[in-house]
Amino acid sequence: MTNSPLSSLADLEQRAASRRDGPAYGHDALIVCDRVVRIFTTDGVEVQALQGLDLLVRQGELMALVGASGSGKSTLMNILAGLDVPTAGTARVAGFDLLAMNAKARLRYRRDVVGFIWQQTGRNLLPYLTAAQNVALPVQLRGGGRSPARKRAARVRELLAMLGLADCHDRRPAQLSGGQQQRVAIAVALANSPSLLLADEPTGELDSATGEQVFAAFRRANEELGTTVVIVTHDQDVAGEVSRTVAIRDGRTSSEVLRRTEVDAEGQESVVAQEFVTLDRAGRLQLPAAYTAALDLKHRVLLELEQDHIGVWPDKER
Ligand SMILES: Nc1ncnc2c1ncn2[C@@H]1O[C@H](COP(=O)(O)OP(=O)(O)OP(=O)(O)O)[C@@H](O)[C@H]1O
């Protein structure tokens, strides 16, 4: 590191000291992933699917996860769904410790806290039940069979109506379009009022107009019920519609795009998008490949701390 102005260092130490006693990492987040590692071993070969992934998601967010094939998105979703367990690190959702919970807590977590929608429309619904029966099933399995049938039926009708499916009530999956099936799947996932809805490529098998309707259903769940929604997607339309898109690269979060709506003096609304690079808990950041290539940055770089930014320079001695 080059010599930094003394005033900056003193200032930095003071700032660090004032933050040391602050609240714990992610204390107010619904999802807390702290250096999550997942290693798969097949035939003696290790694959590090997640390599110390950090991610915080606040209650009420509607966000997308993107990344190249094999970057670790599905591995992360399976962990958040309670279907898989990390090898190391910390993963917590709504106070449930995803590494330490016992079988009973895991069952409760999967039934009450999280709802899941798969890409394959056929995998989300039971083919021999109607849409209404599919939606009623999770409530019955939870023991909602004890609540009055009239009340349960009203809840099912309400969910189907909210997602624009009132006329699909008595139809079986084979009598529904792909988009309708995915929206019924969202209603099923919402049946037990989960805090979190997870979806892995939910529009992957649909054309763009149908995909838009399915995405609108997620938005409704988010806006009307306050459900936190995390969607893994390759769909540019979906990724461009959410206020936060997090990219995963090589098993770590690498960058994110935040979008907000701004209103100008004439009352015209426009969406402003800003891209950030992830700074992990250990202080590491992944410089975009295009930037390192442009300045031929390799092996090591010079850093300089300024009052409000850090400069990165190539090592000219190399
Ligand atoms: N059960 C498993 N056993 C062995 N390796 C696995 C297993 N599941 C995933 N992997 C490996 O972990 C890495 C991450 O896989 P993952 O499915 O999470 O990626 P992804 O980002 O979801 O990819 P895609 O977009 O293609 O679905 C890959 O190298 C994959 O081969």
Cα 176 to averaged position of ligand 1 atoms, centre (Å): 31
Residue 244: closest CA among 235, 252, 234, 255: 255
Cα 207 to averaged position of ligand 1 atoms, centre (Å): 25
Contact 255, 81 (CB under 8 A): no
Residue 56: closest CA among 30, 19, 24, 94: 30
Residue 40: band (very low, low, confident or very high) from pLDDT cuts 50, 70, 90:
very high
Domain ranges of the chain: 6-286
Cα 46 to averaged position of ligand 1 atoms, centre (Å): 12
Cα 44 to averaged position of ligand 1 atoms, centre (Å): 17
pLDDT of residue 22: 73
Assess whether pLDDT exceeds 70 at residue 29.
Answer: yes
Can you tell me which atom of ligand 1 is nearest the CA of 74?
22
To test the ligand 1 pocket, which listed residue (39, 47, 80, 203) has its Cβ within 8 A of the most ligand atoms? 47
Cα 51 to averaged position of ligand 1 atoms, centre (Å): 13
Radius of gyration of the chain (CA): 23
User: Which amino acid appears at position 294 of this protein?
Assistant: A
Assess whether pLDDT exceeds 80 at residue 11.
Answer: no
Cα 211 to averaged position of ligand 1 atoms, centre (Å): 24
User: Going along the chain, which residue ranges are E strands?
Assistant: 31-42, 45-57, 62-66, 88-93, 96-97, 114-117, 196-200, 228-232, 244-249, 252-263, 269-277, 301-305, 310-314
Task: Give the CATH class of 6-286.
Answer: alpha beta
Percent with pLDDT over 70 in the chain: 95
User: Which amino acid appears at position 66 of this protein?
Assistant: V
CB-defined site of ligand 1, < 6 Å: 40, 42, 47, 49, 67, 69-75
pTM reported for the whole predicted model:
0.87
* Nearest Cα residue to atom 4 of ligand 1: 40
Cα 74 to averaged position of ligand 1 atoms, centre (Å): 7
* Nearest Cα residue to atom 30 of ligand 1: 70
**What confidence tens digit (pLDDT) does each residue in 89-146 have?**
999 999 999 999 999 999 999 999 999 998 887 778 999 999 999 999 888 877 755 6
**What confidence tens digit (pLDDT) does each residue in 183-232 have?**
999 999 999 999 999 999 988 888 888 888 899 999 999 999 999 999 99
Can you tell me which atom of ligand 1 is nearest the CA of 78?
18
HSE of 293, CA atoms in CB hemisphere, 13 A: 3
Locate tokens 């950041």: which residue? 285
Residue 132: closest CA among 103, 105, 154: 154
* Nearest Cα residue to atom 10 of ligand 1: 49
Measured between alpha carbons, how far is 303 from 3 in angstroms, rounded to an integer? 9
**Mean pLDDT over each residue of the chain, to the nearest integer:** 89
Strands 269-277, 252-263: pairing kind: antiparallel
Contact 56, 27 (CB under 8 A): no
Residue 311: closest CA among 281, 291, 293, 289: 291
Measured between alpha carbons, how far is 217 from 281 in angstroms, rounded to an integer? 34
Cα 50 to averaged position of ligand 1 atoms, centre (Å): 9
Residue 316: band (very low, low, confident or very high) from pLDDT cuts 50, 70, 90:
confident
Measured between alpha carbons, how far is 132 from 108 in angstroms, rounded to an integer? 23
pLDDT of residue 146: 61
CA dihedral 240, 243, 249, 253 (to 10 degrees): 180
Can you tell me which atom of ligand 1 is nearest the CA of 38?
12
Measured between alpha carbons, how far is 152 from 166 in angstroms, rounded to an integer? 15
Can you tell me which atom of ligand 1 is nearest the CA of 50?
14
Can you tell me which atom of ligand 1 is nearest the CA of 42?
4
Cα 70 to averaged position of ligand 1 atoms, centre (Å): 5
Assess whether pLDDT exceeds 70 at residue 2.
Answer: no
